[in-house]
Amino acid sequence: MYDVAVIGAGVVGAFCARELKKYDLDVVVAESADDVAAGASRANSGIVHAGFDAPAGSLKAKFNLEGNRLMEEVCRELGVKFYRNGSLVLAGKGQEEQLRALFERGIQNGVTGLRIVGREELAAMEPNVAEGAQSALYAPTGGIVCPYGLTIAAMGNAMDNGAALECGFKAVSAERCKGGWTLHAASGKTLSARIVINCAGYGSEQVAALFGDSSFRIGARKGEYMLLDRSCGGFVRHTMFSLPTAAGKGVLLTPTADGNVLVGPTSVEQAEYDTSVRREGFDDIRAKACLLMKDIPFSQTITSFAGVRAYSDRHDFIVEWSAACEGLFHVAGIESPGLTSAPALGAYAAKQVAEKLGAGKNSTFDPVRRPQHWFRSLTDEEKNEVIARRPEYGKIVCRCEEVTLGEIVDAMRTNPPARTLDGIKLRTRAGMGRCQSGFCQPGVFDILRSEYGLQADEVTKNGGKSFVIAGGEL
């Protein structure tokens, strides 16, 4: 029996696991997909929000501010790239008052460094800013981070410190057992724990229901994006927002931590979880993005995708012990700014659980993980030293992102291990460049086969039945 079972390996579940391992606790993470970061944590804007947007006094505001403060150190420990590139909320003629109100709210929330800049300064900060933008709220504490990179690193660090990860474990029922709960998966597997933390994102309403808790509803709102090639990297430096409306933060335009330009998201209410993109979505993005920047290089689009916001009917985060059921803690309804808040949410949930179980500190916890993409940040001399020891670091497999065989092999042998094409892609960037895996896919396919001894028709894109080869061997 584990001390704690975390359901869901998104960024929230990953940070819960990592923070729990700072205590003397046995932790398992149960994830229905075949890899971590399968839900909202894979497809979002990747913004570390400054915190001016959340309603004052809300849990969102509290955890956003706390998460933003923690992010720098967390990313340093986990070796994840994080940049405080600063955010700009643009206002046109006649919107000065709304901008002022946002500024006031930010001050109230405790955001530091906020300032309103005029057109001239704005144009100096962002030469390509749209003509209509007259002033802007500048938030220097806003930042960008790779969301799945952060999730993978947090989970990897939790595992390096002894947490277990059960992928392909979709919790479909829960029953009381002596001293805790037994979870049953769709696959027939079971696991038991004294405490369960519900971090199941869109699935968190269903997970609560497994325990007889129906205290909240989760809705789905899709957000579509277009991603531009790294060659557009210099086009924008800050994260560019328009003024928030009742519908949310609206379409933004931002550099990503890996140097691409991201435009989106749209906002589409949905009856169920669905990550397909729509033609109208592209039109919507283009139309709205033009209010932020001029001459956006849309011709450099390399891919488009969608993420689903899982929001609660309380319109705030749900971070609490279940009132309906003993031993269940919810970290649910984590919509934006959930990525930003994740380190703080994890720390808070872990503290609650550790107190409940009377767990002491884990004196052997090591917060440090080898940096992601460590190899590419080396100088040529340093790379040569690595290649001399491990020649596979001299063999480039993905030409667009220049990912080496060594990095791919490591992604399969480092926690949490990659087992699919997408798993390799999220960890190494192989296949994420301008050719979108046209060149390297067969190579990565071969590497996966030999590492795991798979047949040709067993390699998947992202687990389940997403087989790459569906026509068999000739």
Residues contributing to the site for another protein (CB under 8 A):
226-227, 231, 275-279, 281-282, 301-305, 380, 383-384, 387-388, 391-392, 394-396, 399-400, 402, 434-439, 441-442, 456, 460-462, 464-474
Least distance (Å) between residue 435 CB and another protein:
5
Name which of 54 and 91 has its Cβ closer to ligand FAD: 54
**Residue 193 found at the interface with ligand FAD (CB under 6 A):** no
Q: How far apart are CA 138 and CA 117, in angstroms?
A: 7
Name which of 9 and 293 has its Cβ closer to ligand FAD: 9
Q: Around Cβ 474, how many Cβ atoms within 10 Å?
A: 3
Q: In what order do the strands lie in the sheet with 143-145?
A: 47-48, 143-145, 82-83
**Residue 406 found at the interface with ligand FAD (CB under 6 A):** no
Nearest to 432 by CA among 388, 392, 399: 399
89-104 burial string, b = 16+ CB within 10 Å, else e? bbbbeebeebbeebbe
Nearest to 425 by CA among 403, 446, 406: 403
Task: Dump strand ranges (E) for 19-124.
Answer: 27-30, 47-48, 82-83, 87-91, 115-118
Least distance (Å) between residue 311 CB and ligand FAD:
9
C-alpha pair distances (Å), 148 with each of 46, 89, 173, 416, 428: 9, 25, 28, 12, 11
Name which of 88 and 400 has its Cβ closer to another protein: 400
Least distance (Å) between residue 239 CB and ligand FAD:
8
- Contact partner at residue 466 from ligand FAD, another protein, none, CB < 5 to 8 Å by partner kind: another protein
**Residue 41 found at the interface with ligand FAD (CB under 6 A):** yes
**Residue 40 found at the interface with ligand FAD (CB under 6 A):** yes
Least distance (Å) between residue 379 CB and ligand FAD:
20
Say which residue the tokens 């390399």 belong to. Answer: 302
Does the annotation mark 315 as catalytic?
A: no
- Contact partner at residue 462 from ligand FAD, another protein, none, CB < 5 to 8 Å by partner kind: another protein
Q: Around Cβ 274, how many Cβ atoms within 10 Å?
A: 12
C-alpha pair distances (Å), 145 with each of 66, 142, 257, 469: 16, 10, 5, 34
Strands 268-270 and 135-139: unpaired
Measure the CA dihedral 258/282/251/216, to 10°.
-100
> Could you give the count of Cα atoms lying within 13 Å of 276 in the half-sphere of its Cβ?
6
Answer yes or no: are the C-beta atoms of 122 and 133 closer than 8 Å: yes
- Most distant pair of Cα atoms in the chain: their distance: 68
Which span sits near ligand FAD by CB under 6 A: 10-18, 73-81, 189-197, 319-327? Answer: 10-18
Least distance (Å) between residue 266 CB and ligand FAD:
8
Least distance (Å) between residue 255 CB and ligand FAD:
13
- Contact partner at residue 170 from another protein, ligand FAD, none, CB < 5 to 8 Å by partner kind: ligand FAD
- Contact partner at residue 392 from ligand FAD, another protein, none, CB < 5 to 8 Å by partner kind: another protein
Which span sits near ligand FAD by CB under 6 A: 105-113, 195-203, 269-277, 444-452? Answer: 195-203
Task: Return the structure tokens found at 450.
Answer: 């030999």
Say which residue the tokens 């933003």 belong to. Answer: 68
Q: Which amino acid is at 365?
A: F
What contacts 24+ positions apart, CB below 8 Å, involve 173-178?
Answer: 173/210, 174/210, 174/211, 177/1
Q: Around Cβ 232, how many Cβ atoms within 10 Å?
A: 20
**Residue 339 found at the interface with ligand FAD (CB under 6 A):** yes
Q: How far apart are CA 398 and CA 429, in angstroms?
A: 8
Q: Which of 49, 238, 330, 373 is catalytic?
A: 49
Q: Segment 161-180, which members bind ligand FAD (CB under 6 A)?
A: 169-171
**Residue 337 found at the interface with ligand FAD (CB under 6 A):** yes
- SS3 state at 66: helix
Least distance (Å) between residue 372 CB and ligand FAD:
18
Which span sits near ligand FAD by CB under 6 A: 27-35, 157-165, 400-408, 411-419? Answer: 27-35
- Contact partner at residue 207 from ligand FAD, another protein, none, CB < 5 to 8 Å by partner kind: ligand FAD
Least distance (Å) between residue 474 CB and ligand FAD:
19
Name which of 265 and 406 has its Cβ closer to ligand FAD: 265
Name which of 222 and 373 has its Cβ closer to ligand FAD: 222
Name which of 135 and 404 has its Cβ closer to another protein: 404
Binding footprint of ligand FAD on the chain (CB under 6 A): 7-13, 30-33, 38-41, 44-47, 49, 169-171, 199-203, 206-207, 223, 265, 307-309, 334-340
Catalytic residue IDs: 49
